[in-house]
Amino acid sequence: MTMLKRYTSHQIRNVANSMWLSLDPGHLALSISPLYEMLSAYPIRTAEIIGLTFQSATDFLTSETGQVIPVPENGDQPLAGFLFIQRFRSAFYGCILVEQGDPIVRRRFSAAHELGHYLLHFRPILESLPGDADLILAEGLTYSKDSPDELPSGKLAMVDSPNRDVQFNFIGNDLVEREANQFAAELLIPEAACNIIYESFSQKYGTKRQILTKRLATEFLVSAEAMRWRLATLKLQSS
């Protein structure tokens, strides 16, 4: 049984903050996080697919890698994001796919969520195994149909002997999903920037939650739902 590493909120924030270290300092003056540049620091390619499902994702990956990729169960389930990491004969391949039909702000959050899984959960697994151990790690991300405005959730899965085993074993739980969501929020709406801008905007626009949420969401290029959640977790909620 693969044990996933667990994190405190403080640790997740540190991992997210470390992403800024390699960037042009000019980005610090802006509130929109350069997620794509951050992602570019890792050997993970990104792409958008219209009608993203487990099946369409694995079709895409098969065409990319030339290898047959196992399809997790519920292959036709619509997805907002998909993370795929493969180590095969010591060669690494990583890919983040997002649903092209989703709004831009959701696509960014989905990509940031998947990056969080890679850094927080998949990379420690890769590092804990011998360098020549073959494996596949994946996650499909969904939004609840009943409450699409809530934050997304997914299931981590692993194939630890891809030569013999073509079945994904689910290894995640709700806690790791929350960690990935927190990471995405830390990355797209950094606490320090959020506090400063909230303070400034509160003086300028007042403290009504609905107004500040709408105003701040476009400042960070995130959805109003993600912004509302972030303000609540930072205890910056107002009247």
Partner 1 sequence: MSLDFIQNNGGCRLVVDTSQPIPQNYSSDSDNETQDEIDLGWEVSETQWHTIPITDVMDWRPSDWNESPIRFVDGKDVGQTVAWVRSPDGYPVPIRLAQIGSIVMTLNNGEVRRNYSTMERVVSMVVDPFRWDEIESFASSLQKNGIRLLPAYPLDGQATYEFEKLRRAAQNRSKDEMGVLEEAAIAQDDNTPTIVDGRLESRSGGFDRGLSPIFGVVKTHYRNYLHPAGMQVLYQLEAGQRTPFFSLTPFQRFPVLTWYLRLSDGVGTTPTWGFVRVEVSLDWFQNNRKDETFVNRLSRVIYEYRSKEKSYRRAPVSIHPIVRAEESLGSQFQPENRIIAQFYREAGL
Q: Which is nearer to partner 1, 34 or 70 (CB)?
A: 34
Task: Name the one range near partner 1 by CB under 8 A: 71-79, 120-128, 154-162, 209-217.
Answer: 209-217
4, two tokens:
């996933």
In whole angstroms, the minimum distance from the beta carbon of 214 to partner 1 comes to 5
For 17, list phi and psi in degrees, rounded to 5: -65, -30
CA 148/CA 225 separation, integer angstroms = 10
For position 111 contacting partner 1 by CB under 8 A, the verdict is yes
Q: Which is nearer to partner 1, 166 or 211 (CB)?
A: 211
For position 45 contacting partner 1 by CB under 8 A, the verdict is no
For position 191 contacting partner 1 by CB under 8 A, the verdict is no
Taking a C-beta distance cutoff of 8 angstroms, is the pair 188, 112 a contact? yes
For position 218 contacting partner 1 by CB under 8 A, the verdict is yes
In the set 36, 41, 161, 232, which binds partner 1 (CB under 8 A)?
36
The alpha carbon torsion through 16, 184, 99, 83 (nearest 10 deg) reads: 50
The residue count for binding partner 1 (CB under 8 A) is 29
For position 211 contacting partner 1 by CB under 8 A, the verdict is yes
In whole angstroms, the minimum distance from the beta carbon of 65 to partner 1 comes to 22
Binding mask 46-85 for partner 1 (x = CB under 8 A): x-x-------------------------------------
CA 197/CA 17 separation, integer angstroms = 17
Taking a C-beta distance cutoff of 8 angstroms, is the pair 5, 120 a contact? yes
Which residue, 78, 111, 77, 86, is CA-closest to 97?
Answer: 111
For position 210 contacting partner 1 by CB under 8 A, the verdict is yes
152, two tokens:
């997304």
For 91, list phi and psi in degrees, rounded to 5: -90, 140
For position 216 contacting partner 1 by CB under 8 A, the verdict is no
* Dihedral angle sign, alpha carbons of residues 229, 233, 238, 239: positive
Reported as half-sphere exposure (CB side, CA atoms, 13 A), residue 194 has a value of 26
Taking a C-beta distance cutoff of 8 angstroms, is the pair 98, 81 a contact? yes
For position 224 contacting partner 1 by CB under 8 A, the verdict is no
Instruction: Give the binding site for partner 1 (CB under 8 A).
Output: 27, 29-32, 34-36, 46, 48, 98, 101, 103-105, 107-108, 111, 204-206, 208, 210-211, 214-215, 218-219, 221
